[in-house]
Structure 1
Amino acid sequence: MHRRHAVVLFVLVVALLQGCASLQGRDPLQVTVAGIEPLEGQGMELRLLVKLRVQNPNDSPVNYNGVALEMEVQDKTFASGVSDESGSVPRFGESVIAVPMTISAFRMVRQAIGMLQGGAGPGKIQYEMKGKLSGSGFGATRFSTKGEFDMPAATAPNAT
């Protein structure tokens, strides 16, 4: 009887190792914001529907069952959101995924004060967007993108 358990355990370990090996060598997903729409909020919050364009440069599809997204501005959490949307990003293809996000009034005020105090530099705002597409079992595909954009001169802190 012990031999049967050993064979079953061996088969499970080999299957697990093959699954892990298939995850190696994947190129990262390319994620950009495709659109933003306002949503109705509650009290002291701003709600937005963020549409992400997810491009998969790999030879196999990325199946997901849930999405989590966080946006940092000037190295501070600014907005976050989750969605139980499920689907697949095809191999060498792309999909648009919608995630409702929430920004609290306190976070907006904190960011405004930081920009007024010169934390943003001369008219530059740095951002980073991190998230994951949750798969089944151990599978979660994480993504990250960052950059900066210029504030219009009329609204830039310290503009004269």
Structure 2
Amino acid sequence: MLRRLLVGAMALVVAACSHIPLGIEEPSVKVTGLELLPAQGMEQRIAVHLAITNPNGRDLSVRGISYNIGIENIDVLSGVTGKVPTLKAYEQTPVTVEVTANLLSLARLVQHFSQQGVSDRVSYNFDAKLDFSQWLPSMRVEEQGEIKLQY
């Protein structure tokens, strides 16, 4: 009787594990725009428009995203959101997230530019952690690039 119970329990575990998806490719995230929002007290809020591409053959349900945006390797903007639409299979999903400025990091950035000067290009980095449903591990997505300041 005990042997049958153990075999039955193992069969249930194997059946449950067969539903865990393997080989999920990392979504790509592109920053498509920035928008200043009304300030709240001493806090400046910025809307960051993203395009998240799901290269997988199945929809991905995202519970939340935490993210940082840096300028010249100084993290100046950060935020979290739980309001993320389902990432449809083989589609690009527009997502808008709100970030707040870190005043101490902004002071470091101003100091950096006063010492180094401002060139015609400024580097940026975007780092996000996407938290999926309970069956998928979270993923980190990074994007780096340059913003041209003069035309």
**Both structures adopt the same fold (TM-score exceeding 0.5):** yes
Contact 2:84-2:95 at 8 Å conserved across structures: no
TM-score, length of structure 1 as denominator length: 0.77
Partner residue, 2:83: 85
Partner residue, 2:22: 23
Contact 1:67-1:132 at 8 Å conserved across structures: yes
TM-score, length of structure 2 as denominator length: 0.81
- Cα displacement (A) at 1:119: 7.7
Contact 2:46-2:100 at 8 Å conserved across structures: yes
Which one of the candidate residues 125, 128, 145 is aligned to 1:131? 128
Structure 1: 5+ residue runs without aligned partners?
154-160
- Cα displacement (A) at 1:138: 4.5
* Greater share of residues in strand: 1
- More divergent stretch after superposition (4-13 vs 32-41): 4-13
Cα distance change on mapping 1:90 and 1:150 into 2, 3 Å: same
Distance in 2 of aligned mates of 1:5 and 1:86: 41
Distance in 2 of aligned mates of 1:150 and 1:33: 14
- Cα displacement (A) at 1:131: 0.8
Letter in 1 for 2:123: Q
Partner residue, 1:59: 57
Q: Secondary structure at the match of 2:101?
A: strand
Distance in 2 of aligned mates of 1:65 and 1:115: 37
Partner residue, 2:47: 49
Which one of the candidate residues 92, 95, 113 is aligned to 1:94? 92
Contact 1:69-1:99 at 8 Å conserved across structures: no
- How many residues align? The count is 149
- More divergent stretch after superposition (9-18 vs 124-133): 9-18
Structure 2: 5+ residue runs without aligned partners?
none
- More divergent stretch after superposition (5-14 vs 68-77): 5-14
